[in-house]
Amino acid sequence: MTDVAHVDEVAVPERIVVKVGSSSISGDNRGQIETLVDDIAALRARADVILVSSGSIATGLPFLGLEQRPADLPTVQAAAAIGQNVLMNRYQRSLNRFEIVAAQVLLSASDMSVDQHRVNAFNALERLLELGMLPIVNENDTVATHEINFGDNDQLAALVARLVHADRLVLLSDVDALYTAPPGTPGAERIAHVAHGDALDGVTLGVSQSLVGTGGAGTKVDAARLAADAGVEVLLTATRLFAGALAGEDHGTVFAPRAQAAIRTA
């Protein structure tokens, strides 16, 4: 009898969108870009990765002699225009250690509401992944108006995760998890798991305390729900704990996704 070789189907790699907040990669935490790139390089060995990065405004502020976000929109946009270039340069210099090429993709949340823009973004991201590039999605802060005043890219990251039918969305910031009350509040306890549809009754959500970012716990929960509704599992944790979370350590808060089949089309 002739043996018949059974060929397993080619495994589709996991697809992960990683979003990092402004305060994690700017100012005193600028050095975390190196460790974040280390973690992403390791993750790319087993998954398609898209990075959504805040930080262009925060990165540009020192070049304008400012220590915190200005109140007027044109100055914020000017800081973004300066910081965008510097931030991408910092990422690429770090990525050179792994011979990874970054591809900058400028989007705004409003792009996701226009069919042709959404299809174009999907096709570009898909092709970049096929070519082995690391797409780094930044908000188009130089021309955006509403988006730069709210959310620190949390919503944009959720929309990107939905767009590319990601398996997981990781929201990184300087807070290690979602708590029942703002961290530091007496009696506040970490919430390790949030079931899909959980209203989080009794949980008090804080706002961002950063002088450069705009995203607080509320914006992250909203983004997590937006992604989870599309079948994307969401992990909320601190940038410094990313490597441990990838290794299976018990960090952060996991938002369970709605159970549904994901089909990778725009």
Q: 209: phi > 0 → left, psi -120 to 50 → alpha, else beta; which? A: alpha
Phi, psi of 202 (to 5 degrees): 85, -5
Q: Which residues pair with 254 in a beta bridge?
A: 193, 235
At 14, give phi and psi (nearest 5°): -65, 145
| 153 has binding-site annotation | yes
Q: How far is Cα of residue 92 from the mean position of the Cα atoms in its chain?
A: 17
Torsion angles phi and psi, residue 41, rounded to 5: -60, -40
User: 141 among the known binding-site residues?
Assistant: yes
Q: How many CA atoms lie within 13 A of 229 on its CB side?
A: 10
Q: Confirm whether residue 54 is marked as ligand binding.
A: yes
Known binding residue 220? Answer is: no
CA distance 248 to 238: 14
Annotated binding site for substrate: 54, 141, 153
Annotated binding site: 19, 54, 141, 153, 173-174
Annotated binding site for ATP: 19, 173-174
